[in-house]
């Protein structure tokens, strides 16, 4: 007890007394009950906490997966859109600007993240002027091909071999600077475009900073190559040579992310998008952060807004907002030539909505219940012991018999009143009864019960206060500088008099005019301080006994009630949480009989609490799960495990709903299952959304037919089933004839309706187990399974053609179409899906070639031409080492004298099996495969050796001519190669003439021009072959060192009958004379041609009239005979 005279002397004794009392009074059964309660509490806590963490992780993974699916789906639509534009150009003979705008306009309205859709034709240097003139004539008045200078300003594009200008740009507004811009002038874009060009595949660029981008925005460009129709594209060289142009989409990454995630903006997830294929300093693409409601960043519509974290602060932002590694989710977006990585992080609102609190509430509630039970047992023991102690003390007090009798009466009275107080209905009545009893039993003016404030240990909250026998309002008061602070610091404290002087700063003492004080601490069963019970008097107290003993006893009773009241409060919180939670909560007994359902259950199912309690949980069965499903579920939970999964249940009104459910068994202290707790969420909306998304991913939106992806999936599964079935299957490739004419003439709306009606007719022609898919445009594929015979396929084909033969009527107008069908059969025509579809496509084109409106079965000879070309290419690569090439020479004759003045070396190929191969068959292959370089060098060396041989034989002025390709002229080593050959052959450079085409001059590249001038300086002669058929221009005749013009045989052939050809030839001859150039007419075969040329002043001829091309021996004989 604390006394004013020497408080520290009594404190150790008091604490020692309490410790001894607790050690004596706490019995073994009480300790056992406490340990068991704590163990069960911890077990239940771990179980619920694990369930909460698993649920949160699953919800985050599901939300992030939905984000990723949205992004992948949207990105695939972008790729498919660019592919559609490419196919549009591929399937059309020509596309005008208004047709392009109409085609892409509707698509762009659905994708606000697309900055521009572009068509970039491949334009050679020779075609540039024509393109610019045509674009201006079509209304693009300012059109010109541009590029950027070193300062990033647009300038007119410099001369180069080819350009890829943005010829069609939609929309034009905000993209004006893009029109005419040659994207290939950017070295990085040129590398991407070249890769797409040579592989034939779409490609996505690294991040770009474009004209339209502002701030920290980035964009990418998706390129899709388009090749010349029916041109070979089997090898990189063929694809490089036959490129028509690129279809491209300019996409803003930030807008793409926000548009794709618009429907999922409430999930509460942040997203970081990076480019794994890029370098580390260019990998950042976009950061999508969802605003927190606590930051007051709600938009005007109430939706959560997002903001962009720029590249400079992304690393700092992630360091400032560390994320739980268990709540991160990663996904890859595989793009053509690139891989993007999605990193998902929980935003503040997600974490706020998924706090782990249920397990802590259950733990606290369980511990409080355990503590209450222990306290109750302990209190009963203490009560018994204290009564015995009091009775012993009263029996020993013989010397103060009268005082003892009076004190005993007081104690008995107080105990009696406590017994009455314990029976009070609620805590408030209990506490007010206790303080009233204290004032009466101990004959004091004031009695109070105070509880230390939970949120501030420096405050005391009064639970009950009695003043002069009357209950007054409770209040809060600070503890500092008060008598109560001594009780908290030292235990029971006693101040017999001078109370106001001792605590002069306590105003409440002055108001109460209190002079004496006695206070006792209130401890819970764990020895933690709960509060104080005390008395005060306006007169001094002569003794602290028996009042101190009474206060101790009262304190124990009050402690029990305080703990019981706190347990009730916590239980009320737990009950309220179950009622207010958004999850469906059901508690059943071990047999599945419902004992409790929360309000969310009633709202979702339509059943009231009283309608389901006492009934089996099977009342919700939908019939959508078989008996095996429920058997596995019961085996799981009866074995002590938790079930997690999605169950389809039925509401009271019969509607079905999807519930994401967790069922956990509850065990007693012996490990016996006594109950099952089920929690669940209604995910019907989410499941329906996923079904719709899945349908869109695998079906054509116009016809609702399976698309190419679903067709290939079914075809591959069918091939797997064929291993068990001996019945064949067939794939039919159907292309509608003349559909484009209808679509272009009557519009896309009519075209769409026509396709929908065609779909209905096709569906009527096949069995239920067969599959019809729309591959795009007017192309369909039909998978026929389990075919009994080829005749069945024939019947289906005829049925389809007959169905299409009937007219289609739209708005009173009859439309007629037909179809071309190609058929491949498994296993004869292929063992994999791609081969079967490709062969059916090949057969379809055969059907078109045979007049359309028919069907054709695939046969290997349809691929014979392609195979023959591959074999020819293979043989060509070995022709040099096998010495299969040879040269023939056609003489060039001076008309005035008939003298042979030169000879053109012509390449021939003597194939060991095919014989002499025509130059038109293998010369283009030399260009495409890149063999033109070594073969051209062989031609030069062989021709120069032969010229030297004839020179030694006496033909000192005979000039040998050889053709050089544009690729050879672009070789920086060309001059050295020719110089070495001339030195090797000891041939004077004036006896060698190189023939080039006008396209070489039009290339305008620096290497070709340097080679031209250097060769001229070396003394070689330069001739333009096939003059007049290309981009003939007087300017390059002046700029370049040309010595000879060779008139193309196309002009010579009809020179005697075609006035235009005659006029052209006369003009070329006159111009060559004026420019002091030599002129040679090629392809002279008749006397009429010879006479006309001689009349108009042509000086030299070459053609079969004089001599066909001869081998070297025959040419030698002709030279010797020509001398005479």
- Residue 401 CB neighbours (<10 A): 9
According to the model, what pLDDT value does residue 18 have?
43
pLDDT beyond 60 at 47:
yes
Question: Is the Cα torsion angle 171, 173, 179, 184 positive or negative in sign?
Answer: negative
Q: How far is CA 342 from CA 227, 270, 338, 591, 744, in A?
A: 34, 10, 13, 46, 42
Give the position of tokens 């003794």. 543
Q: Which fold would CATH assign to domain 98-259? A: Beta-Lactamase (3.30.450)
Strand order in the sheet with 818-826: 771-776, 779-784, 729-737, 818-826, 855-857
Q: What percent of the chain has pLDDT over 90?
A: 34
Q: How far is CA 982 from CA 30, 886, 993, 1008, 1020, in A?
A: 116, 20, 12, 20, 11
pLDDT beyond 80 at 267:
no
pLDDT beyond 90 at 795:
yes
Ranking 282-286, 359-363, 573-577, 817-821 by mean pLDDT, the lowest is 573-577
Confidence of residue 6 (pLDDT cuts 50, 70, 90): very low
pLDDT beyond 60 at 2:
no
pLDDT beyond 50 at 298:
no
| 86-95, 332-341, 750-759 — most confident range | 750-759
d(CA 902, CA 892): 5
d(CA 658, CA 681): 8
CATH of 581-689, one of 3.40.50.2300, 3.30.450.20, 2.40.50.140, 1.10.4190.10: 3.30.450.20
Q: In sequence order, which residues have a C-beta less than 8 Å from that of residue 413 and are 6 or more positions away?
A: 437, 440, 441
Confidence of residue 14 (pLDDT cuts 50, 70, 90): very low
| Average pLDDT estimate for 797-809 | 93
Per-residue pLDDT tens for 179-190?
A: 899 988 888 889
Q: Which helix (H) or strand (E) holds 1090?
A: helix 1087-1095
Q: Is 61 exposed, middle or buried (0-12, 13-18, 19+ CB in 10 A)?
A: middle
In 3-state terms the chain splits into helix, strand, coil percentages (rounded to 5) of: 50, 25, 30
For the 2-25+357-564 domain, the top CATH level (class) is alpha beta
Per-residue pLDDT tens for 1069-1109?
A: 998 998 889 999 999 999 999 999 999 999 999 999 999 99
Confidence of residue 864 (pLDDT cuts 50, 70, 90): low
According to the model, what pLDDT value does residue 19 have?
46
First and final C-alpha spacing in the chain: 152
Q: In sequence order, which residues have a C-beta less than 8 Å from that of residue 232 and are 6 or more positions away?
A: 238, 242, 866, 869
Q: Report, at the CATH architecture level, how domain 869-1123 is classified.
A: Alpha-Beta Barrel (3.20)
Ranking 153-157, 250-254, 565-569, 1063-1067 by mean pLDDT, the lowest is 565-569
Give the position of tokens 């803003």. 252
Kind of pairing, strands 269-275 and 529-537?
unpaired
d(CA 206, CA 223): 12
DSSP annotation string for 129-149: HHHHHHHHHTT-TT---EEE-
Question: Is the Cα torsion angle 200, 204, 206, 209 positive or negative in sign?
Answer: positive
pLDDT beyond 60 at 498:
yes
- Which among 215, 196, 213 is positioned nearest to 204, based on CA atoms? 196
Ranking 239-253, 270-284, 531-545 by mean pLDDT, the lowest is 270-284
Global pTM reads 0.36
Average pLDDT across the chain, whole number: 83
- Which among 835, 831, 853, 833 is positioned nearest to 844, based on CA atoms? 853
DSSP annotation string for 15-46: HHHHHHHHHHHS-HHHHHHHHHHHHHHHHHHH
d(CA 106, CA 100): 11
d(CA 862, CA 859): 6
Query: Between 25 and 717, where is the model more confident?
Result: 717
Per-residue pLDDT tens for 897-942?
A: 999 999 999 999 999 888 998 888 888 778 867 888 899 999 999 9
The reply to whether domains 2-25+357-564 and 581-689 share a CATH topology is yes
SS3 track for 761-820: HHHCCCCCCCEEEEEECCEEEEEECCCCCHHHHHHHHHHHHHHHHCCEEECCEEECCEEE
Per-residue pLDDT tens for 963-1011?
A: 998 788 888 999 999 999 999 999 999 999 999 887 677 656 688 888 9
Q: Where are the domains of the chain?
A: 2-25+357-564, 98-259, 286-353, 581-689, 699-858, 869-1123
**CATH code linked to domain 699-858:** 3.30.70.270
d(CA 440, CA 463): 18
d(CA 348, CA 316): 17
According to the model, what pLDDT value does residue 321 have?
59
DSSP annotation string for 660-727: EEEEEEEE-TTS-EEEEEEEEEE-HHHHHHHHHHHHHHHB-TTT--B-HHHHHHHHHHHHHHTTT--S
Beta partners for 809? 814
| 320-324, 480-484, 572-576, 760-764 — most confident range | 760-764
Ranking 61-70, 79-88, 854-863, 1022-1031 by mean pLDDT, the lowest is 1022-1031
Cβ pair 366, 46 in contact under 8 A: no
Ranking 106-115, 227-236, 513-522 by mean pLDDT, the lowest is 106-115
| Average pLDDT estimate for 1040-1045 | 89
According to the model, what pLDDT value does residue 593 have?
93
Per-residue pLDDT tens for 377-430?
A: 777 777 667 777 766 665 665 555 555 555 556 555 655 555 555 555 567 888
């Amino acid at each position: 007890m604390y006394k004013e005279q020497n408080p520290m002397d009594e404190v150790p004794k008091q604490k020692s007394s309490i410790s001894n009392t607790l050690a004596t009074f706490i019995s073994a059964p009480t300790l056992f009950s406490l340990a068991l309660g704590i163990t069960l509490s911890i077990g239940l806590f771990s179980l619920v906490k694990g369930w909460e963490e698993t649920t949160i992780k699953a919800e985050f993974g599901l939300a992030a997966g939905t984000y990723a699916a949205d992004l992948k789906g949207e990105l695939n639509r972008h790729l498919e859109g660019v592919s559609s534009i490419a196919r549009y150009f591929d399937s059309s003979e020509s596309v005008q600007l208004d047709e392009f705008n109409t085609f892409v306009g509707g698509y762009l309205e659905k994708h606000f993240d697309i900055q521009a859709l572009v068509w970039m034709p491949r334009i050679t240097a020779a075609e540039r002027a024509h393109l610019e003139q045509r674009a201006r004539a079509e209304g693009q008045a300012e059109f010109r091909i541009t590029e950027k200078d070193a300062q990033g300003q647009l300038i007119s594009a410099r001369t180069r071999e080819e350009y890829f200008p943005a010829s069609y740009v939609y929309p034009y507004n905000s993209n004006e600077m893009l029109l005419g811009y040659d994207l290939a002038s950017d070295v990085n874009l040129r590398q991407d475009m070249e890769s797409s060009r040579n592989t034939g595949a779409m490609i996505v660029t690294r991040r770009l900073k474009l004209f339209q981008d502002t701030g920290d925005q980035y964009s990418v460009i998706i390129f899709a190559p388009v090749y010349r129709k029916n041109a070979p594209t089997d090898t990189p060289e063929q694809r490089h040579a036959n490129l028509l142009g690129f279809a491209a989409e300019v996409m803003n990454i930030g807008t793409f992310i926000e548009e794709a995630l618009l429907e999922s903006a409430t999930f509460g997830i942040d997203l970081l998008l990076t480019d794994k294929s890029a370098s580390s300093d260019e990998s950042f693409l976009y950061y999508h952060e969802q605003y927190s409601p606590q930051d007051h960043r709600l938009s005007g519509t109430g939706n959560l807004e997002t903001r962009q974290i720029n590249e400079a602060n992304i690393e700092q932002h992630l360091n400032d907002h560390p994320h739980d590694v268990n709540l991160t989710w990663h996904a890859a977006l595989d793009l053509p030539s690139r891989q993007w990585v999605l990193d998902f992080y929980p935003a503040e609102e997600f974490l706020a909505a998924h706090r782990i609190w249920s397990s802590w509430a259950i733990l606290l509630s369980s511990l409080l219940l355990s503590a209450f039970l222990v306290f109750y047992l302990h209190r009963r023991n203490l009560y018994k012991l204290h009564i015995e102690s009091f009775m012993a003390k009263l029996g020993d007090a013989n010397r103060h018999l009268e005082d003892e009798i009076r004190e005993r009466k007081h104690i008995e009275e107080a105990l009696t009143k406590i017994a009455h107080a314990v029976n009070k209905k609620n805590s408030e009545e209990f506490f007010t009864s206790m303080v009233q009893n204290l004032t009466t039993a101990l004959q004091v003016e004031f009695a109070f019960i105070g509880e230390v404030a939970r949120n501030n240990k420096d405050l005391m909250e009064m639970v009950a206060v009695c003043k002069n026998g009357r209950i007054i309002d409770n209040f809060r008061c600070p503890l500092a500088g008060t008598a109560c602070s001594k009780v908290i610091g030292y235990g029971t404290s006693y101040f017999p008099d001078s109370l106001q002087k001792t605590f002069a700063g306590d105003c409440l003492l002055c108001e109460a005019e209190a002079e004496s004080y006695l206070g006792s601490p209130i401890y819970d069963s764990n020895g933690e301080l709960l509060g104080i019970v005390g008395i005060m008097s306006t007169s001094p107290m002569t003794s602290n006994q028996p009042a101190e003993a009474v206060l101790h006893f009262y304190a124990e009773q009050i402690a029990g009630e305080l703990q019981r009241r706190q347990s009730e409060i916590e239980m009320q919180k737990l009950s309220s949480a179950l009622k207010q939670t958004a999850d469906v909560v059901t508690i059943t007994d071990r047999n599945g009989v419902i004992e409790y359902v929360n309000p969310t259950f009633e709202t979702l199912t339509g059943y009231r609490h009283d309608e389901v309690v006492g009934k089996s949980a099977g009342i919700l069965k939908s019939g959508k799960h078989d008996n095996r499903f429920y058997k596995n579920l019961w085996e799981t939970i009866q074995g002590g495990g938790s079930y997690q999964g999605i169950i389809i249940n039925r509401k009271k009104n019969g509607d079905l709903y999807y519930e994401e459910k967790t069922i956990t068994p509850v065990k007693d202290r012996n490990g016996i299952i006594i109950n099952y707790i089920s929690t669940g969420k209604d995910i019907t909306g989410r499941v329906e959304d996923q079904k719709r998304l899945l349908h869109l991913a695998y079906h054509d939106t116009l016809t609702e037919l399976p698309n190419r992806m679903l067709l290939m999936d079914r075809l591959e599964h069918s091939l797997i089933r064929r291993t068990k079935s001996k019945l064949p299957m067939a794939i039919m490739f159907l292309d509608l004839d003349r559909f484009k004419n209808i679509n272009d003439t009557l519009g896309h709306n009519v075209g769409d309706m026509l396709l929908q009606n065609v779909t209905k007719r096709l569906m009527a022609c096949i069995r239920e187990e067969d599959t019809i898919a729309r591959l795009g445009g007017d192309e369909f594929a039909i998978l026929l399974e389990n075919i009994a015979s080829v005749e069945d396929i024939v019947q289906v084909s005829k049925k389809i053609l007959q169905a299409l033969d009937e007219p289609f009527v739209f708005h009173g107008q009859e439309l007629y179409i037909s179809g071309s069908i190609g058929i491949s059969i498994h296993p004869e025509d292929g063992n994999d899906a791609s081969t079967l579809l490709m062969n059916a496509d090949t057969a379809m084109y055969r059907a078109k070639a045979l007049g359309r409106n028919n069907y054709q079965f695939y046969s290997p000879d349809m691929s014979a031409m392609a195979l023959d070309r591959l074999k020819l290419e293979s043989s060509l690569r070995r022709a040099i080492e096998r010495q299969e090439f040879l040269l023939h020479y056609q003489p060039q004759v001076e008309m005035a004298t008939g003298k042979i003045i030169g000879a053109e070396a012509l390449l021939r190929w003597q194939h060991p099996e095919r014989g002499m191969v025509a130059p038109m068959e293998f010369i283009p292959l030399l260009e495409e495969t890149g063999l033109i370089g070594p073969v051209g060098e062989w031609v030069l060396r062989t021709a120069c050796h032969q010229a030297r041989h004839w020179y030694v034989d006496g033909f000192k002025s005979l000039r040998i001519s050889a053709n050089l390709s544009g690729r050879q002229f672009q070789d920086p080593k060309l001059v050295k190669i020719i110089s070495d050959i001339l030195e090797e052959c000891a041939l004077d450079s004036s006896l060698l003439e190189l023939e080039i085409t006008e396209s070489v001059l039009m290339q305008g590249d620096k290497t070709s021009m340097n080679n031209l001038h250097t060769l001229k300086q070396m003394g070689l002669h330069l001739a333009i072959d096939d003059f007049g058929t290309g981009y003939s221009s007087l300017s390059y005749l002046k700029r370049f060192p040309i010595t000879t013009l060779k008139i193309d045989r196309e002009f010579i052939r009809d020179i005697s009958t075609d006035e235009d050809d005659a006029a052209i030839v006369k003009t070329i001859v006159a111009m060559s004379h004026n420019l002091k150039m030599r002129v040679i007419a090629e392809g002279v075969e008749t006397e009429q041609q010879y006479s006309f040329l001689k009349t108009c002043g042509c000086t030299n001829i070459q053609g079969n009239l004089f001599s066909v091309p001869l081998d070297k021996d025959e040419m030698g004989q002709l030279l010797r005979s020509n001398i005479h």
